[in-house]
Structure 1
Amino acid sequence: MKTLLTFALALSLSTSTFAREGTSNVAASSFVKTEGKIVKLSLGEDLGKVRLTIKDVKGKTLYRSTIFVKSNVIVPFNLTDFPTGTFNIAVESMDKKDVLGKTNFEVETKEPKSEMVLPLMASGKIEDQNKVKLTVFGLEKPGLKVTIKDEFGKLLFKETINEENGFIKYYKFKDSSAKGKVMMLEDIKGRQKTIQL
């Protein structure tokens, strides 16, 4: 009797498999990927009409929409306006004939890693009594502003140098010593450096 029940159960499972052949499954045709606070939901072309719902950890609905999926698509969600945490994304089939089910994804957002900003790398060296060697390197983009003032703050010289990566340039002061002069540098990214000679 027990063997018969097992056989009958196996038969009914295989019959239901044949009956649903050609249908799609929401869970098998969708997945998510999280990058910081950006969530990318991938939906397979076989899903047809689906309802998307995003809820926060307290169950509050943040987003709800019905979309028609005709080809493989990635639906991005920008959650930067919400606190870092756990969110639930529900994908539910609205096509009762060809697509089965509903699936839930629990995603956790994280603060994006801040880009490490290196300081502006430059040095100034007095080569002669009235001659200065400026060395700059590590520039990512051209457009370095160079301003030279005397010890009293009076502007002596100003220019923009359009060199990438780095350069060496000499400045000569005709009627005065290089000592005490101040060189102020600012690159296109806003990094600054002051060199006191």
Structure 2
Amino acid sequence: MADTEPTEGTGPAEEEEKAGLLGWCLVANVARETLHGEGGLDLQHGMKHFAAGALLWIPPVPWDPGHCRWPAVGRHRGNSRRYVSMVVRAEDLENFRVKGVYSEALVRRLNGRRHDPAAPRTLQNPWSREDAQNWADRWNQPREALRIDGRSYPWMTVTNPPPAELCVDGETLHLAHYGTRGAHYSRTPPPVERTPGP
């Protein structure tokens, strides 16, 4: 569901009302608990640069910073008055949704180096409301890591619970095991159980 109200805490209310709606953006909150370190055994509250629950604005990605890593704009843990840009892991985010952009300071940070001072209220690479909502719906579904014949594919995920069969590049894969490390698929179909005849 899209949020059409002025954003909270993005500046003086009078400035936001004067600016009006400047565009739409995909947003998410930093997860309360994030996993780091070898094997994901280091449990932390939030991220190094963003507090747990912090609102992050996610512009459309014009470049690939790495699988399931996105540039994001938010208020830094140590300075809640200014927006900063960081690359974050998608798995550290939750509660994806669409919000309206009302702040020129936010537009400036979302635009980054492409910002045009002559057009301070123009998003250079805007989301359409529909595209942002589609991304939000997709990322709000529980997803699981995918392994095929023992090999990890970190850029591919499946729904939770995973389907018994999965088609990847025209090839049918079969669910072999589902556990704490995600869904394990095999190219080999499961053995057929023989039932004794009468």
Please give the TM-score of this superposition, normalised by the length of structure 2. Answer: 0.18
Select the structure with the greater relative contact order (CA < 8 A; seq sep ≥ 6): 2
- The structure that is helix-richer by fraction is 2
- The structure that is strand-richer by fraction is 1
